Amino acid sequence: MVRVLLTNDDGPPSPRESPYIFSFARALEKELGWEVKVVLPASQKSWIGKAYVIKDVIKGKYYYPREPDGAGEYSDVSRPLRDGEVAEWILLEATPATCANIALHNLYPGEIDLVISGPNFGRNSSACFMLSSGTIGATLSASLSHVRSIALSYATFHHPTPANYTPPANTLSCRIINSLYSSWGADGSGLRQGEVDLYSVNVPMIPALLSDGGGGVEALWTTAWRNGYGRLFMPTAKKPSTKAAGPDAGPSSEHSSRTSTPAGNQPSYALPKHHTDPETAAHPLTFHFAPDMEPLVRPDVALLPEGTDTWALHHGFASVTPLRAAFAEPGAESLALAGEGEGKPGAKVRL
């Protein structure tokens, strides 16, 4: 039996910020028969990368989720499960990378075969999101502890995402992850001479998932789209209230909502507009996080490099990107480009 550590950057189950963690944990247990240990940040920790908590004392609580949505009870001490509770999870006041390291070396030393981080509420495709992602940060942390690691993200294309997309997305993700773990070191983009430390998997939340239990969405080997971003912050007199902080976080009710589009077309939606209080002009050194996401989540599909993760998502494919827990050396070839056959970008992943 494969022993899995499951973590994320969205925190414990929440319809607004962390809608996928509970159902996916159950899918790993039921569909793959794997043993799952869950250690999560106690609250939302998006956009925090691979940061560690180094000065604060890290405190935790036990959490006991129940069917059907993972809502549960907190406890300061471990206790037996009560009626309706399905597991004992651990929540830490820490970053995703910190959670992964504490779980591997303090909570379950020598007991973990694979670390899975996610499913993230929103895509983690392209350099901009990958280098900022707490989801991927947790897998980088685990891979530096020499544990195989996979980051999983669910890319939002329709807001709100229909709830019936989640079960087939979980099934498809289980198939991809099982394939990657089973063939690590054997396939074209596997562990070639220690080169591949982790994988980043993105699943598009689109209607095709409803076909054949997720089989309507194929997975492709990809590279990361090398993009960039501009303004991330705006001056403000007070920090505005925020909802989900991921790249695909939806607009609040007072803003226009995203509309459904077929896979292969650009999603069409209006992003929230951020307004600066006129009084802010007299107080220029106060800022809040208000990124301009439009060029990142609504790129010109015609200009996306074929074979990249973002290209795959916008053409209705799941993306599988092999990564190293290291900065690229000058002149080094992409890992996926170095592969042959099924390891080449754009080739299908065998499930």
DSSP letters, 15-35, are TTTB-SHHHHHHHHHHHS--E
Q: Of the ranges 10-24, 201-215, 323-337, which is most confident?
A: 10-24
Domain membership of residue 171 (yes or no) is yes
Report the pLDDT value the prediction gives residue 212, as an integer from 0 to 100: 84
In a domain, 264, yes or no: no
Could you give the CA distance from residue 55 to residue 196 in angstroms, rounded to a whole number? 32
Between 12-16, 104-108, 269-273, the lowest mean confidence (pLDDT) is in 269-273
Is the pLDDT higher at 297 or at 26? 26
Residues in the chain: 351
Q: Indicate whether 168 pLDDT > 90.
A: yes
Residue 47 lies in a domain: yes
**Number of separate domains in the chain:** 1
Distance (Å, rounded) from C-alpha 91 to C-alpha 99? 8
Is residue 285 scored above 50 in pLDDT? yes
**73-87: burial string, b at 16+ Cβ within 10 Å, e else:** eeeeeeeeeeeebbb
pLDDT at residue 142 is higher than 80: yes
3-state secondary structure 230-280: CCCEEECCCCCCCCCCCCCCCCCCCCCCCECCCCCCCCECCCCCCCCCHHH
261 within some domain: no
User: How high is the pLDDT of residue 151?
Assistant: 98
Closest CA relative to residue 121, chosen from 109, 129, 131: 129
Per DSSP, the three-state class of 159 is: coil
What confidence tens digit (pLDDT) does each residue in 258-275 have?
Answer: 333 444 444 433 344 445
Greatest pairwise CA separation for the chain in angstroms: 61
In a domain, 231, yes or no: no
* CATH at 136: 3.40.1210.10
Distance CA 134, CA 204 (A): 19
The domain in which residue 30 lies consists of 3-226+306-323
Confidence at residue 335, expressed as pLDDT on a 0 to 100 scale:
42
Indicate the SS3 state at residue 96.
helix
Confidence of residue 343 (pLDDT cuts 50, 70, 90): low
pLDDT in tens, 307-337: 999 999 999 999 999 998 887 655 444 444 3
Q: What is the pLDDT of residue 108?
A: 98
In a domain, 344, yes or no: no
pTM metric for this prediction: 0.85
Strands 72-75 and 114-121 come out as unpaired
193 has pLDDT over 60: no
* Residue 54 is assigned to a structural domain of this protein: yes
Query: What is the model's pLDDT at position 114?
Result: 97
Residue 77 falls inside a structural domain: yes
Q: Quick check: 204 pLDDT over 80?
A: yes
> What pLDDT is stored for residue 85 in this prediction?
97
